[in-house]
Structures are given as structure tokens and as C-alpha cells.
Chains A and B, each alone.
With several copies, the nearest count.
Chain A
Amino acid sequence: MEIKLCGIKFKNPIFLASGIMGDNAGALKRIAINGAGAVTTKSIGLKPNMGHKNPVIVELDEGFLNAVGLANPGVDNYIEELKKIRGFLDKIGVRIIASIYGKDEEEFKEVAKKIEPYVDMIELNISCPHAKGYGLEIGQDVDLSYNVCKSVKSAVNIPVFAKISPMVNIREIAEALCNVVDGFTAINTVKGMVIDINMKKPILSNKFGGLSGKYIKPIGVRVVYELYEYKKPIIGVGGIFNGRDALEYFMAGASAVQIGSAVYFRGYDVFNKIYKEIKEFLDKEGLELKDIIGIAHE
């Protein structure tokens, strides 16, 4: 199931999503040896960021609500983490996608330029729903999103994907960005809230957070289906727990998928499991992965 995205080979199309086990070298390495075709870093910014206070996550039956608030050690420190594992990941053929964020195009560009030598692709986080002044606050502004993408794209030579929120007008943002980015990652989490009825308070210290897991799969499939008409490669993400979920995303138009919450619900080896489930389906149908990408549009 080897694939090529923007000229880059991936040993398989099942990647780690940003925000899960991406805090440091040890975590990324563990995912890499569990069969992921690529690992995506936590979203990295210019300076170290403490993020929000705890609680930053609410466990739900089949997903999470989280508001980590873009906590990260800053690009310079994170590069030290990447240096520890870059060689090993190269050796076992696992690609690294850097998720990055910034407050404006300048900050995005600076982070992108710094991190470029250590990664294979860049994913622009213009869709995180729980960080003031970042993420979705940029993604909701089509012009600002365009400027960020254009500025990063002009600064680096590796592929640049924009990560899209399901809470924006997909047509508007896709039309604006499709001529400037190399592809889309969809979707980021959906803004939500969980209240503890005994404490009578929102659980997250940030009150609002991003909903992930099984809850958002139909939303993600819909966004990928909508994005497919813009003829750019798409990485599908949102509630993929098993091979069937991944296949829905492929048929909607995704060329690869990212796994997040399911790492918790099915274990760190979820990548191998999903790989096997997809392969079984394709073998049974006598099809190859490329045959089904976007097939639901026919």
C-alpha cells in the first residue's frame, strides 16, 4: 500500500494525526515502530508555550474533548527532539510531517523555515478551535489564511498542506487556498463543551475544546468529499477507528488518513491493525487503494 503524495513516497497511507503522542521524540518513535506511514508532530510554534492549565482533556465514550491550547516546547527545542529520531525514522521509512502554527504569516514562515530541514512535509494549523489568536481564528478569515499559506509556500521547498476546520465554509476556504497549497488535511476537531453536572462547571480549564473521535467521522467524511472537487491531495482525519472508517475517507477522496483518538481506544499498534483491515477489504474486492480514492463521486 505504498503511496506517493506530492512526489514523496510513504510506505503506507496510515499516519499519526497531530496532537497525539507528538510531544517529544520518544512518543513519535513509539508510534513509528507501530506501523505508521508517517508521524505528524504536535503543532509547533515559534516560542515555548505552556498551553492551557489542566484539565486539558475530557475522556468520552468514543472520543475526546481537548483544549491543550497548542502547548509545545517551541520550534528550537522541538528540533532537538527531531534530531534524536530523524535518522532512525528514515531507516525504517517513516516520514515526518511538521504541524506548525503562528499568529500571522511571518510567524508561520519563520517556524516553517526553521523546521524544514528536519521533516518531509508541513501541515499548517489554521483550524485549532481552542487557542486565542491562533488556529481557527486564522482559518475563519479567508484572506489571512491565504496569506499564511502563500507565505509559507514561498519560503519552503517541501509540500505544504493546510489543515481545515469543519466549522468554516468549505467552498470559500478551498477556493481561496487550492491554488496556493499542495494539499489539504481535513478535519480538525469541532468546537464543543462538556459540563460536569456534579461540579456544575465546564470541565476544561479553557471551557471550550475540540471534539474528536467517533463523534466527528461523518463530518470529516463530508468535508473530504467537498474538498475533493478542488483536485488537490487530501489527508483525511477525524474519527478513524478501523479499516472501514478509513475506507469511507478514501472513497470520499482522501489519499491518506491520520489516526488520532483511536490510538487510545485501540492501542498504540492501531496503525498495523487498520493497515490489515484495509488490505483485507481491498483483497476481497480485488482492488488496489488507488482504485477507490474518490470512488464515491462516480
Chain B
Amino acid sequence: MYEVCKIINIIDETPTVKTFVLDKSFKFKPGQFAMIWLPEVNEKPFSFASENSFTIAKVGPFTDKMHKLKIGDKIAVRGPYGSYFKQYGEKILAVAGGVGAVPIVTAVEAFNAEITTILGARNKDELLFIDRFKKHSKLLICTDDGSLGFKGYTTDLMEKVLKEESFDSIIACGPEVMLKKVVKIAYEHNIPVQVSMERYMKCGIGVCGHCCLDNGLCVCKDGPVFTGEQLRKIIIYK
């Protein structure tokens, strides 16, 4: 069930984010995740950053342990699991906040479309995958502190962009407050939207019901990528 993988490279992306490159590849679709198990520590879901890497922010005890791993150490991976970003239309707006950039960059790379990416972070040091985004999309940067690009939230920049330009669809990943706002803005502009949600997961396969939303959809199995249609009722009219 688990694929035991050796870490063959570790890249410091930002002061709090590392990418772990593995000796094994997975056939994932953009937005899908895997469960990473560290024996005697815990097991957590992470989006694929590429077919053989995970990009992980240090946010708690498990990711602390991850960040202490060295090249040659082994981790156990099960997956890919969950739904994924589908390409709707030819002209797409991608909105990525913080480590939400991980599933978004894989979609931007996988899509065959004209893409504009809004990439946001607290400050310029925390911006992820600038090169990868630039290579496959028109990149608009924003930071909360204005240390690079637009000063403000991704959703502020998003509203600005949507005033000037129209898109066939939107994809987004980031903090839940951001996602709610993205869904709302997309709805107001009548643009189809897909967002990737995050929840504490236990089983990861839609059995325990722990990550179920109020509408009964499981983030692990029906998600993590949901359409605006699936979420609008519980996000906006809640």
C-alpha cells in the first residue's frame, strides 16, 4: 500500500518551506495529494509539487520532523488520492496564496492554456515557484507587506485583474478565507471556479467522515478540488 521512497534532494524554497525530492515517481493529476507517513510520528496529506516531490511548509510537529529529514532518509507515501484541477476553457486565471502555490503550479504546468497567475505571500521571501510560474504563465505577484509586487491580498489583486480582463475559468488554492472570497468573486463575475480545500484528514479515503463538509462531501475523496457549484451553498450562504 505504501511506497517507501528515499529522499534524494532537499531544496530550501523559503525560510519556512522545503521541497523534498524522492527517488520514486507517482502518476498524479494536478491538485491530487498523497498521505506521507513518518513511522512513530504521524501521517499527513500533502499536495504533489511534481511527480516526485512534495513542497512542505513548517507549520507544526509533523512538518517540523519533515524539515529535519536529510538526504537518504526514507518516507512512506500512499496515493495519489482525491479530485484534481480540470482545464475549463482556454484562458485561465490561477490564484495561489502561500503554500497554496503547490497544487496551482502543477496545474499551470499541466494545462494547455493562456494562464495568468496571481501569486501571493506574506512577504517576498515566502513567494514560491516564481520561475516555474513565469515559465508557464503571466505572473502577477502580490505581498501582504508590499515587499514585492502589488501590496495587498491575492483577492484584492484578483478583483483588479477581473475589472480589466475576462477569463474562461479560475483555479485557486490558499487559506480558507481567501478561497471563500475567490468563490464569491468568481460567482459575482459569473466565471466557473475550482478551489482546492484543506482539512485535517484521518483516513484520507472517504471512510471515516472526519473531513466531511456540511453538505456531506469529503475533502479527501470528493475533494480536495471542488467546483464553486459544490461549495457555493455552504461557503456563501452559510
Q: Does B231 contact A (CB under 8 A)?
A: no
CB <8 Å contact, A23 and B212 = yes
Residues of A within 8 A of B39 (CB): 196, 199, 201
Q: Does B76 contact A (CB under 8 A)?
A: yes
Complex partner residue of B216 from A20, A26, A264, CB under 8 angstroms: A26
Complex partner residue of B202 from A28, A57, A58, A201, CB under 8 angstroms: A57
Complex: A22 Cα to B212 Cα, angstroms: 10
Interface residues of B in 74-129 (CB under 8 A from A): 74, 76, 78
CB <8 Å contact, B207 and A55 = no
CB <8 Å contact, A199 and B4 = yes
CB <8 Å contact, A64 and B207 = yes
Interface residues of B in 1-56 (CB under 8 A from A): 1-2, 4, 35, 37, 39-44
How many chain B residues sit at the interface, stated as a range, is 20 to 34
Closest chain-B Cβ to A199's Cβ sits at a distance in Å of 5
CB <8 Å contact, B2 and A54 = no
Q: Does B190 contact A (CB under 8 A)?
A: no
Q: Does B162 contact A (CB under 8 A)?
A: no
Q: Does A203 contact B (CB under 8 A)?
A: yes
Q: Name the prevailing secondary structure of the B interface residues.
A: loop
Complex partner residue of B2 from A26, A53, A71, A199, CB under 8 angstroms: A199
Q: Does A154 contact B (CB under 8 A)?
A: no
Residues of B within 8 A of A264 (CB): 205-207
Complex: A182 Cα to B204 Cα, angstroms: 36
Complex: A24 Cα to B211 Cα, angstroms: 9
Residues of A within 8 A of B74 (CB): 198-199
- 28 interchain pairs, CB-CB under 8 A: A19-B208, A23-B210, A23-B212, A24-B210, A26-B215, A26-B216, A27-B212, A30-B217, A54-B42, A54-B43, A54-B44, A54-B202, A55-B35, A56-B202, A56-B208, A57-B202, A57-B204, A59-B78, A68-B202, A71-B202, A84-B214, A196-B39, A196-B76, A198-B74, A198-B76, A199-B76, A205-B40, A205-B43
Complex: A205 Cα to B210 Cα, angstroms: 18
Complex: A30 Cα to B203 Cα, angstroms: 18
Residues of A within 8 A of B206 (CB): 264
Interface residues of A in 1-49 (CB under 8 A from B): 19-30, 33, 42
Q: Does A142 contact B (CB under 8 A)?
A: no
Q: Does A263 contact B (CB under 8 A)?
A: yes
Residues of B within 8 A of A42 (CB): 209
Complex: A30 Cα to B78 Cα, angstroms: 26
Q: Does B213 contact A (CB under 8 A)?
A: yes
Given that A201-B40, A264-B206, A264-B207 are contacting pairs, would A30 and B4 also be in contact in the complex, using a CB cutoff of 8 Å? no
Most buried by B among A20, A30, A58: A30
CB <8 Å contact, A25 and B214 = yes
CB <8 Å contact, B203 and A21 = no
Residue of A nearest to B61 (CB): A53
Complex: A205 Cα to B214 Cα, angstroms: 29
Complex: A182 Cα to B16 Cα, angstroms: 56
CB <8 Å contact, A21 and B4 = no
Closest chain-B Cβ to A89's Cβ sits at a distance in Å of 13
Residues of A within 8 A of B216 (CB): 26-27, 29-30, 33
Complex partner residue of A23 from B1, B2, B209, CB under 8 angstroms: B209
Residues of B within 8 A of A196 (CB): 1-2, 4, 39, 76
Complex: A21 Cα to B205 Cα, angstroms: 11
Residue of B nearest to A42 (CB): B209
Closest chain-A Cβ to B215's Cβ sits at a distance in Å of 6
Residue of B nearest to A212 (CB): B207
Closest chain-B Cβ to A234's Cβ sits at a distance in Å of 23
Contact flags A79-105 to B (C-beta < 8 A → 1, else 0): 000001000000000000000000000
Complex: A217 Cα to B214 Cα, angstroms: 33
Residues of A within 8 A of B78 (CB): 59
Complex: A45 Cα to B228 Cα, angstroms: 36
CB <8 Å contact, B214 and A55 = no
Complex: A205 Cα to B4 Cα, angstroms: 17
CB <8 Å contact, B215 and A198 = no
Residue of B nearest to A264 (CB): B207
Residues of B within 8 A of A71 (CB): 202, 210
Closest chain-A Cβ to B184's Cβ sits at a distance in Å of 21
Closest chain-A Cβ to B197's Cβ sits at a distance in Å of 13
CB <8 Å contact, A26 and B37 = no
Closest chain-B Cβ to A270's Cβ sits at a distance in Å of 12
Given that A24-B212, A264-B206 are contacting pairs, would A55 and B37 also be in contact in the complex, using a CB cutoff of 8 Å? yes
CB <8 Å contact, B76 and A21 = no
Closest chain-A Cβ to B3's Cβ sits at a distance in Å of 8
Residues of A within 8 A of B215 (CB): 26, 30
Given contacts A53-B43, A54-B42, A203-B37, 17 further A-B contacts (CB under 8 A): A20-B209, A21-B207, A22-B209, A26-B214, A26-B216, A27-B218, A30-B217, A42-B209, A54-B43, A57-B202, A57-B205, A59-B205, A196-B76, A198-B2, A199-B39, A199-B74, A264-B206
